[in-house]
Amino acid sequence: MADREVELLAVGAGPSNLALAVALEELAPELARDSLIIERNQGVSWQPGMLFPEALSNTSFLKDLVTLRNPRSRFSFLNYLHATGRLDLFVNMGSLTPYRAEVADYLQWTARSLALVDLQYGRQCVDISPEWTGGTLTGWTTTIADGSTIRSRYLVLGTGRDIRIPEVLRDLDRDRVVHSTQYQKRIGVLRKDLPYRVVVVGGGQSAAELFYSVQHDLPECRPTMVMRSVGLNSYETSKFTNELFFPSFVDEFHASRPEAREQMLAEMRPTNYAGVAPGMMESLYRQVYLDRLSGRSRLQMITMHDITAARDEGDEIVLELTDWRTGATREVRTDLMLLGTGFSPEMPWAVRRLTERLGLSDVAVTRDYRLVVDRPSTAACYLHGVNEKTHGIADSLLSVMANRANDILQDVLTGDHHLDTLAAVVATPGTTPVVAAS
């Protein structure tokens, strides 16, 4: 494909950049016409590995791509239901939380509904380089897998974090190791009549869903759940703590001292990590209860153990589990491993590559999600969903996406990026760019 130049390039067609596209079309149509979103896949794909028919979103349908910013938008989830003829049915269901498959379909519908922003599929970003003019950062050159390039003044990275595979498991045969993001695709090609030994790794929602679903998808399998925690715990779902997911709380969190942010994140961890939704917890316990009642002993849960070694041996994987209470070890042999291990806390590769090219030792962002550079700049780069340490625990969730899109767009429209140097920022809690991650 031919090289191209646009004013704004967004990498990744996930919820974050779709929310930005909606904001562009509604608030800045001229800029929207000179904006491009590229996506490496052949369509909008959201959590494809975990779109189980019965899986519910943990987020209210009102926290869609636009409603908290513009309740009258034609891009709302309610308008999607109306357009697809399901509004009456959804209202009658009486639930604030849609099915996860509905959210995925809503995102695809939104992408099809864009009229001004150009969205191109099958275009994988393989490199990003800054452009300099006389010592001033003036833009970005993004290289695509087909060798073409896209030049832009504004760059928005919404690629998500890289999947997390524990180091002890990284050398195993990948044909026998399945991360949750790949589950539906990988499990769908396996024979259903074989008595697979399956180990599910993790103690959070994704691991619980894997353990629950594999029993139905591989009816003859014998699944074992391995976790280092004392057992499965429910998410903390108090309406009081949920107020920390309000978009308005981002200002409060960002203005707090670094040590206060760390404390808030630690106390908020049970609301989003290492927990299981109450409904799933109930279903899972009933599965285990009925398994024991039947005397089949098909299901196992091994708690308070670390995986301290792993190796391929013939057609199976051999795991060494260490009980962290006693130090005793045991060996578990399995045919298939399912990883509910989430995503890496490190910055994704694209951010790491870009900061390396900029000569930055750390990744820091402003309140408006702009990457801080240490030289004069008339260009800007914005980071979606990787700023939890500076913007709060909701940063990677749907809860703040509509408002974050507006924050980024308003910063682009002001255009005062020549002021964005580390030396120019005064040391006050509300304005100092704080290291988000390295």
Number of domains in the chain: 2
Q: What is the average pLDDT value for the chain, to the nearest integer?
A: 91
Question: 133: exposed, middle or buried (C-beta count within 10 Å: 0-12, 13-18, 19+)?
Answer: exposed
Please report whether residue 263 resides in a domain.
no
How high is the pLDDT of residue 426?
34
pLDDT in tens, 352-381: 999 999 999 899 999 999 999 989 999 999
**Residues 87, 203 within the same domain:** no
**Is residue 316 located within the same domain as residue 294?**
yes
| CB-based contact 304:228 (threshold 8 Å) | yes
Q: Are residues 77 and 222 in the same domain?
A: no
Query: How far is Cα 273 from Cα 396, in angstroms, rounded to an integer?
Result: 12
Quick one: 108 and 184 in the same domain?
no
Q: Are residues 199 and 327 in the same domain?
A: yes
Tens digits of residue pLDDT in 219-278: 999 999 999 999 999 988 889 988 989 999 999 999 999 999 999 999 998 888 878 988
DSSP assignment letter at 235 = P
Decide which of 296, 324, 339 is a domain's last residue.
339
Let me know whether 417 and 293 are in one domain.
no
Domain final position from 339, 354, 373: 339
- Domain membership of residue 114 (yes or no) is yes
With a pLDDT cut of 70, the percent of the chain lying above it is: 95
Please choose, from the candidates 416, 392, 413, the residue with its C-alpha nearest in 3D space to the C-alpha of residue 20. 413
Domain CATH code at residue 395: 3.50.50.60
